[in-house]
C-alpha cells in the first residue's frame, strides 16, 4: 500500500509541475505581442496572432493546465494563491494618519482627472506629460485602496449596494 501511495504522489507531482508550466506559458503569452508586432509578418497575420496571444491562448492554456493538473492539483494551486493574497491583504482598521494619507491618494487623481481638461491648458508641461500623469494617477488611485485598508473597501462597496445602510462609529 505504501508503494501505491508513493506512486500516486509521484504521478500527481509531475502532473502538477507540467500543468503549472502550461499555465505560466499561457499567462505569459501576451508578452510576445511586441515581438509579433515588430516582425515582418503581414498586418493581417500580426493582428490575428496578437489577438490570439491576448485573448485566446491564455484561456485555452488555462483549461489545458487544469485538465493536466486535475482537481487536486488545481485546488492546491488555488489554495496557495489565496494564502498569498490573504497574507498581503490590507489591514482592516488603519490609524488616522494613514487614513488621511490614503484619502489624499484617493481624491487627488480624481480631482486631476476631473479638473485637468479645464485647467491644464494653462500648464504647458501637462500636455507634454499627459500619459505619465495619467499612469501615475491610476497607480495612486489603486494604491490608495491598500493604504486605506479593508474597512474602506467595505465603505466603497456599500456605494454600489442599493440596500446598504451606513452606521457611524464615533472615535
Q: Break the chain into its structural domains and give their ranges.
A: 2-87, 96-158
Specify the pLDDT at position 90.
64
Residue 12 is predicted with a pLDDT of 63
* pLDDT score of 86 more than 80: no
**Three cell numbers, residue 37:** 508586432
**For residue 105, what pLDDT band results from cuts at 50, 70 and 90?**
very high
Average per-residue pLDDT for the chain: 84
| Residues 6 or more apart whose Cβ sits within 8 Å of residue 103 | 144, 148
CA 17 to CA 73: how far, in whole Å?
A: 9
Residue 170 confidence class, pLDDT cut points 50, 70, 90: low
Q: Specify the pLDDT at position 171.
A: 58
- pLDDT above 90: residue 25: yes
Closest CA to 141 of 109, 113, 111: 109
Is the C-alpha dihedral spanning 123, 125, 130, 133 positive or negative?
A: negative
Whether 106 and 64 have beta carbons less than 8 Å apart is answered as no
Residue 146's pLDDT band, with cuts at 50, 70 and 90, is confident
Residue 163: burial class (beta carbons within 10 Å; 0-12, 13-18, 19+): exposed
Given a contact cutoff of 8 angstroms between Cβ atoms, the answer to whether 152 and 145 are in contact is yes
State the number of CA atoms in the 13 A half-sphere of 99 facing the CB.
Answer: 9
According to the model, what pLDDT value does residue 27 have? 92
Is the confidence at residue 122, as pLDDT, over 90? no
Q: Distances in Å between the alpha carbon of 159 and those of 87, 108, 111, 147?
A: 27, 19, 19, 19
Quick check: 147 pLDDT over 70? Answer: yes
- The more confident residue out of 32 and 75 is 32
Mean pLDDT of 127-146: 87
Contact 29, 56 (CB under 8 A): no
- pLDDT beyond 60 at 4: no
Q: Is the dihedral of CA 120, 129, 125, 146 positive or negative?
A: positive
Q: What is the pLDDT of residue 136?
A: 93
Amino acid at each position: 500500500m505504501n508503494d501505491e501511495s508513493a506512486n500516486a504522489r509521484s504521478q500527481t507531482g509531475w502532473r502538477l509541475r507540467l500543468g503549472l508550466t502550461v499555465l505560466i506559458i499561457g499567462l505569459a503569452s501576451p508578452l510576445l505581442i511586441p515581438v509579433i508586432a515588430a516582425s515582418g509578418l503581414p498586418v493581417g497575420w500580426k493582428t490575428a496572432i496578437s489577438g490570439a496571444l491576448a485573448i485566446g491562448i491564455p484561456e485555452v492554456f488555462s483549461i489545458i493546465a487544469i485538465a493536466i493538473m486535475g482537481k487536486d492539483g488545481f485546488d492546491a494551486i488555488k489554495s496557495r494563491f489565496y494564502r498569498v493574497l490573504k497574507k498581503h491583504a490590507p489591514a482592516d482598521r488603519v490609524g488616522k494618519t494613514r487614513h488621511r494619507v490614503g484619502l489624499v491618494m484617493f481624491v487627488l487623481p480624481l480631482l486631476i482627472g476631473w479638473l485637468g481638461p479645464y485647467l491644464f491648458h494653462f500648464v504647458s508641461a501637462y500636455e507634454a506629460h499627459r500619459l505619465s500623469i495619467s499612469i501615475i494617477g491610476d497607480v495612486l488611485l489603486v494604491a490608495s485602496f491598500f493604504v486605506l485598508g479593508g474597512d474602506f473597501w467595505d465603505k466603497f462597496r456599500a456605494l454600489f449596494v442599493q440596500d446598504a445602510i451606513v452606521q457611524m462609529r464615533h472615535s
